[in-house]
Structure 1
């Protein structure tokens, strides 16, 4: 064979080898083009929840350049909204979120795929949170069901100076909403021209009639010692970690408080469709603490109370203006030492108190439902929601990546 023929033969061989390698590579890509996520509901009621999967569990399937093209489909081939979470702000995603809807005692499969052509679905509903400097420095958060707020350092400074409208409290405020749309920005914008804007239910969206003061509101914490509750002052820093269609997350820090020199970082998250915010308080202390106590204000002691240490849920049902509101806390019963409905003649000192074992990190859920939102009509309705939340905490969805 002459030189020209040999070159021709080698070029043809290389070309065929290239085609073969491409075919193998495409086969591998197709093999990893989708994976199945099996989710099982072990409880006897249907559950619509947000599922979180660590990116480390998906490394066999995606790489950083492909994350933007990740989609999740139901077994009926419908795209479902997703959300990425970067917890430490390093520009790399840590978790993938998606919402599931699973009937009682059922298992559903969701398909994770790479699809650069189909845009991700846009959710009509969302979660949201932010610091609000236009009203001193509240931090406020919401989803399609509920809204909450807490109070910051400037508000504390103004309260100590006696400036009207400012609040010195680490209690948790609740906003009664009866729309599934976001109201935070709209209500605070209205506040700029009318300080009573969101204290009046004149637009059919809800309002804020709830009084916190120095009480625990719905889910504030303290230390119960010698029939006295030691509490922190307002938060001093805030950091928004995520806000999006499925979950909002933020962190608050507090100056050292109580005789035990507690340094607290509180991470709060709220999922779409949930009436309960998740609270995770991490503590660094100078001296051993006797307990950490979660509270719910009893206002003027005119509502109904139910304490359930065995199941870990605590209920308050009260009338505010012309409708009823249910407030509650859910915590794992294994960490509860006792609970009491403490009443006092002193304003804002009557609270449900859930006394928990001291630990470096306290996790619990606090939330509410308003009669006018249509979510509950009776105290029993609210108790059913608390019972279900307690079961959800005890029996999380079983997630298996195939």
Structure 2
């Protein structure tokens, strides 16, 4: 679908998507291949941790959703590893990602969730890049991190991305803060981009088109700054639902490239901006079994776009 059609048809798409919602996944939870070790506690909590045993994967989760970004060491081990955001399905309220990853097969179902989302070269669940000359220029994996709060009420941390090229005449770099409280499917992102050249940037925030296979349905509501993706049904795994919320006043365009559905924002280097990235598994926490239910939740999510004060270090 052309970018212009996305932009002009935004609100009708939301209405039509909710009125003509598809049925939920026909899949059921897979058979448990090998149960995970029991959790230290079954109390719901938000958490963030570094998997130093697995190339410094940085994982965060709460009672509803679970995510991962990749460390610098993975670039050599699993090229072409990149800075997209991974999303896992979970069907328990307590943390499971560390035990799942330590199982040696995070892609299998061990009773608490699984990773069947393939970020690849795309932006996954709300990664970003710089849009220039009809191309998205993206960073490599994060280089440094600072954990600000490891729950229980919120997972809160920052990462730095090393400078990366935008065409041949500009370089940019980023610090991004991630905050995931209990009780929501959305991580609040605060991004600060800097550049070696003056002038504004156009930032593309994306949702991977084929992270769980071909197909799926996109809802666009430009007035709310909303992109919502109801992923294709996998007969063994179900669906992943992904959404992005941005400040509507910052939107330059809504379009797509080969790998991503994107919203393009006008950004000033050095000035923090806020956006939200959310996900849900239709067999997991949250009870989202239809596209209509997910779209309604995404549209109703309370969002604020005023950046918080910089954390004290």
The interval holding the TM-score normalised by the smaller chain is 0.7 to 0.9
Question: What is the TM-score of this pair, normalised by structure 1?
Answer: 0.61
Give the drift of 1:123: 9.6
| 1:153 and 2:72 correspond | yes
Tell me if the contact between 1:309 and 1:338 (Cα under 8 Å) persists in the aligned partners. Answer: no
- Determine which structure has the larger helix proportion and give its number: 1
Tell me if the contact between 1:305 and 1:341 (Cα under 8 Å) persists in the aligned partners. Answer: no
**What is the total number of aligned residue pairs between the two structures?**
255
**Equivalent residue in structure 2 for 1:282, among 192, 212, 219:** 192
CA RMSD of aligned residues (A): 1.9
Partners of 2:101 and 2:46 in 1: CA distance: 17
1:153-212 alpha-carbon deviations (Å, 9 max, x no partner): 11113235xxxxxx6110000011011111022112212xxxx2x2111x3311101000
Identify unmatched segments of 5+ residues in structure 1: 1-121, 161-166, 345-349, 396-402
**Equivalent residue in structure 1 for 2:93, among 168, 173, 180:** 180
Tell me if the contact between 1:209 and 1:320 (Cα under 8 Å) persists in the aligned partners. Answer: no
| 1:393 and 2:271 correspond | no
Partner of 1:261: 171
Distance 1:327 1:261, change over 3 A: same
1:265-289 alpha-carbon deviations (Å, 9 max, x no partner): 1111100011011111112211234
Greater relative contact order structure (CA < 8 Å, 6+ sep): 2
SS of corresponding position for 1:393 = coil
Partner of 2:29: none
Partner of 2:119: 212
For residues 78-157 of structure 1, the aligned pairs below 5 Å read 124-157=43-76
| 1:314 and 2:227 correspond | yes
Tell me if the contact between 2:274 and 2:305 (Cα under 8 Å) persists in the aligned partners. Answer: no
For residues 191-210 of structure 1, the aligned pairs below 5 Å read 191=104, 196=105, 198-201=106-109, 203-210=110-117
Give the drift of 1:370: 1.2
Question: What is the TM-score of this pair, normalised by structure 2?
Answer: 0.77
Partner of 1:329: 244
Partner of 1:189: 102
Identify unmatched segments of 5+ residues in structure 2: 1-40, 307-313
Q: Which has the larger radius of gyration?
A: 1
Give the drift of 1:320: 4.6
